[in-house]
């Protein structure tokens, strides 16, 4: 059928219109498509990516123009972009604005502190309950298993809007990783990439490692689950000293339950406070409706555990646990390896949703302390290979724990720490003794009489060191008058130390020299199995003998002597009443020995000039305060008075 001419004309006109429109579109400038967004910084990190994002904050009451407090909220993100699983992640945040951290989701403080905590000098956060971050390779890129976000809330001082209180830096502190310099993005984001040092090494983060390797430390706490049931389990807790100068006396162990657990029963130790109030009025009492909570030992979120006395060692209910019941004393292995460990068992009840036998969560924020011992800072628990114990039936086999965690603690010296022992100096060439420094172990906040905390201690006759400080005033004033020394008003305060040690340079001759060490116990408790360590930077190679104590060079050290009481003489007795209590001052418990040195092994030693005096002294692991000056070779009153004074001191001590 033929197409009409009119229709031909319409089709032709339509084609011309389309061609003109197409030509116009070609002649018009094209609008460029938007550039693709840059990839996130984490994409360029082939390791562990950390970021810190400040999200907000506001001023807190009260108003203080000089040091205003502000709330801050931020998020720390840890992302595993590496090839291997990151076990027990730990990240440092360099806070620098007097921050007080109030809470942290998915993390705890690695030093064992509880919230709120002062973190103004920076702090290390450890993952909890998510402590391990898997890699993209083993999860097919499942970010939920590769990443953790830690919500931080706290208080900072002095940085208000529009300024942002950012940390100084952030980094990963796990062994085997090195971090690049942190990069700032805008004014509220900081990020850094940390790379594994040797990707081919068989390190703790290897893909085939199910558990982290056990770590070394000054003190190690093991938390071993030895029996488990659906709603409770039995754990064995072991505390062991590994530092040759570490020690604990009357130890107190504390930790935080993170999942509302409570202690039902114990063997080998006991709660410092038996308290079930939190259970009875809390969720525990609602869940365990039929439980007799009068049989429960402790429901505190942060219990404190103490050791039992030796009389409970064979108790059929509380005792019969290896290494228990020693009144809280743990000795360094150098003294007695069998007494360098303490152990106890406890039955722990769990709460929903953890009611199955495989849901096992160790407590966090471990702290341990003693009466006169070094301070220990404990890390967070890390999962390690199950411990093995001798079979209780006596068979020649081992029984493995169901799960094991290790807490490593190291000796630390905080700036706020106050010593509990001090040292005085004296020498054969000077008839005055330099006593312990004023307030060496802290000042009494409410002294019975006015005294100065800044005036240096008054020099004494040596035998005055045997007199309690509160009875020394007359002797000190009399000695100052004899020596024609001015006396400050008010007089200096005492040292307030429970233990003091006198180091007396006894003789110095061509071939050798001698010193005498005297220990004074001014406290109400005796010290059993005491030890003292003396660091002499130049003299120890010439050490010859300790005559009254057991003494030797500290193993692995060329500048430290280790001394302890001999069997039967290993008590440093407590302070006792004088012969006439109404008249005589109280008498400290004392121990004394002479130490001899040869000069052949220490050529050039200047004994009297300072090389014969200690640079560090420890008693039972506690570092003692040292005098700030040495005895001088000033003229003495007379040789006879000097010899008489030191002989009097020695004779009085021998009579104790």
Buried b (16+ CB within 10 A) or exposed e, 288-313: beeeeeeebbbbbeebebbbbeeebb
**Architecture of the domain whose range is 421-443+450-624:** Sandwich (2.60)
The CATH number of 41-196, from 2.60.40.290, 1.10.260.40, 3.30.1280.10, 1.10.238.10, is 2.60.40.290
Output the pLDDT for position 375: 93
Q: What is the DSSP string of 12-75?
A: HHHHHHHHHHHHHHHHSPPPPPPPPPPPPGGGG-SSEEEEEEEEEEEE-SSP-TTS-EEEEEEE
Output the pLDDT for position 202: 46
User: For the chain, what are the domain ranges?
Assistant: 41-196, 219-390+398-411, 421-443+450-624
Q: What would the pLDDT profile of 363-392 be if each residue is shown by its tens digit? A: 999 999 999 899 999 999 999 999 998 877
Q: What is the DSSP string of 336-369?
A: -GGGSEEEEEEEEE--TT--STT-----EEEEEE
Q: Specify whether the CB–CB gap between 520 and 465 falls below 8 A.
A: yes
Paired with 346 in beta bridges are 235, 266
Output the pLDDT for position 586: 85
Separation of alpha carbons 613 and 502, rounded Å? 11
Separation of alpha carbons 332 and 340, rounded Å? 5
| Spans of the chain below 50 pLDDT | 200-208, 637-649, 651-656
Angle CA 241–247–249, to nearest 5: 120
Residue 426: exposure state from Cβ atoms within 10 A (0-12, 13-18, ≥19): buried
Which residues, including other chains, have CB under 8 Å from residue 421's CB and lie 6 or more apart?
372, 441, 497, 498, 499, 500, 501, 617, 619, 622, 624, 625
Task: At 410, list the tokens.
Answer: 């190291």
Output the pLDDT for position 300: 97
Paired with 596 in beta bridges are 514, 545
Q: Which of 545, 530, 533, 460 is nearest to 494 (CA)?
A: 460
The CATH number of 219-390+398-411, from 3.40.50.12280, 1.20.58.1610, 2.60.40.290, 1.10.10.10, is 2.60.40.290
Output the pLDDT for position 55: 96
Q: What is the DSSP string of 385-434?
A: SPPEEE-TT--SSEEE-SEEEEEEEEEE--TT---SEEEEEEETTEEEEE
Which residues, including other chains, have CB under 8 Å from residue 619's CB and lie 6 or more apart?
372, 421, 499, 501, 519, 530, 531, 532
Output the pLDDT for position 15: 59
Phi (first) and psi of residue 127, to 5 degrees: -65, 135
Q: What would the pLDDT profile of 22-37 be if each residue is shown by its tens digit? A: 555 555 555 566 666 6
Phi (first) and psi of residue 283, to 5 degrees: -65, -30
Q: Which of 46, 86, 89, 45 is nearest to 183 (CA)?
A: 45
């Amino acid at each position: 059928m033929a197409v009409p001419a009119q229709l031909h004309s319409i089709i032709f006109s339509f084609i011309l219109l389309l061609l003109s429109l197409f030509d116009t579109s070609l002649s018009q400038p094209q609008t460029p498509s938007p550039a693709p967004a840059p990839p996130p910084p984490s994409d360029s990190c082939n390791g562990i990516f950390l970021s810190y994002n400040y999200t907000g904050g506001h001023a807190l009451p009260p108003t203080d123009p000089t040091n205003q407090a502000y709330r801050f909220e931020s998020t720390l993100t840890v992302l595993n972009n590496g090839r291997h699983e990151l076990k027990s992640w730990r990240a440092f945040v360099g806070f620098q604005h007097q921050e007080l951290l109030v809470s942290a989701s998915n993390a705890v403080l690695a030093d064992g502190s509880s919230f709120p905590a002062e973190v103004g000098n920076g702090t290390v956060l450890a993952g909890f309950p998510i402590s391990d971050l898997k890699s993209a390779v083993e999860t097919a890129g499942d970010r939920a298993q590769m990443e953790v976000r830690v919500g931080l809330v706290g208080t900072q001082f002095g940085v208000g809007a529009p300024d942002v209180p950012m940390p100084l830096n952030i980094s990963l502190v796990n062994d085997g990783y090195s971090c690049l310099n942190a990069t700032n993005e805008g004014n509220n984001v900081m990020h850094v990439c940390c790379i594994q040092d040797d990707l081919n090494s068989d390190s703790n983060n290897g893909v085939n490692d199910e558990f982290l390797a056990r770590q070394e430390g000054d003190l190690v706490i093991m938390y071993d689950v030895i029996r488990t049931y659906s709603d409770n389990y039995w754990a064995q807790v072991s505390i062991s000293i590994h530092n040759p100068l570490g020690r604990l006396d009357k130890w107190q162990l504390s930790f935080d339950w993170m999942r509302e657990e409570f202690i039902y029963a114990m063997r080998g130790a006991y709660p410092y406070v038996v308290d079930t109030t939190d259970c009875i009025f809390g969720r525990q009492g609602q869940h365990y409706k039929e439980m007799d909570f009068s049989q429960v030992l402790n429901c505190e979120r942060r219990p404190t555990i103490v050791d039992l006395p030796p009389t409970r060692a064979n108790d059929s209910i509380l005792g019969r646990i290896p290494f228990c019941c020693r009144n809280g004393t743990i000795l360094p292995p150098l003294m007695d390896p069998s007494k360098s460990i303490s152990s106890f068992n406890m039955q722990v009840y769990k709460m929903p949703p953890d009611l199955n036998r495989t849901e096992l969560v160790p407590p966090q924020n471990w702290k341990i302390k003693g009466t006169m011992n070094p301070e220990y800072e404990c890390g967070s628990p890390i999962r390690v290979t199950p411990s093995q114990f001798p079979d209780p039936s006596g068979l020649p086999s081992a029984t493995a724990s169901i799960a094991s965690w290790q807490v490593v603690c190291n000796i630390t010296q905080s700036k706020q720490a106050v010593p509990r022992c001090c040292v005085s100096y004296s020498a054969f060439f000077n008839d005055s003794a330099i006593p312990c420094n004023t307030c060496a172990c802290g000042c009494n906040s409410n002294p019975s009489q006015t005294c100065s905390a800044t005036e240096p201690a008054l020099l004494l006759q040596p035998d005055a060191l045997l007199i309690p400080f509160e009875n020394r005033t007359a002797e000190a004033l009399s000695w100052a008058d004899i020596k024609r020394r001015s006396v400050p008003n008010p007089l200096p305060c005492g040292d307030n130390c429970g233990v003091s040690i006198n180091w007396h340079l006894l003789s110095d001759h061509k071939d050798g020299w001698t010193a005498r060490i005297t220990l004074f116990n001014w406290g109400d408790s005796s010290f059993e199995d005491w030890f003292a360590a003396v660091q002499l930077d130049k003299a120890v190679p010439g050490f010859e003998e300790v005559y009254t104590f057991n003494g030797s060079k500290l193993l692995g050290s060329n500048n430290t002597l280790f001394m302890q009481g001999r069997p039967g003489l290993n008590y440093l007795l407590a302070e006792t009443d004088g012969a006439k209590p109404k008249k005589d001052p109280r008498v400290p418990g004392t121990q004394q020995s002479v130490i001899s040195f040869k000069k052949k092994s220490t050529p050039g030693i200047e004994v009297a000039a300072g090389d014969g005096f200690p640079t560090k002294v420890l008693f039972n692991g506690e570092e003692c305060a040292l005098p700030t000056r040495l005895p001088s070779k000033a003229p003495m009153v007379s040789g006879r008075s000097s010899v008489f004074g030191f002989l009097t001191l020695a004779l009085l001590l021998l009579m104790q």
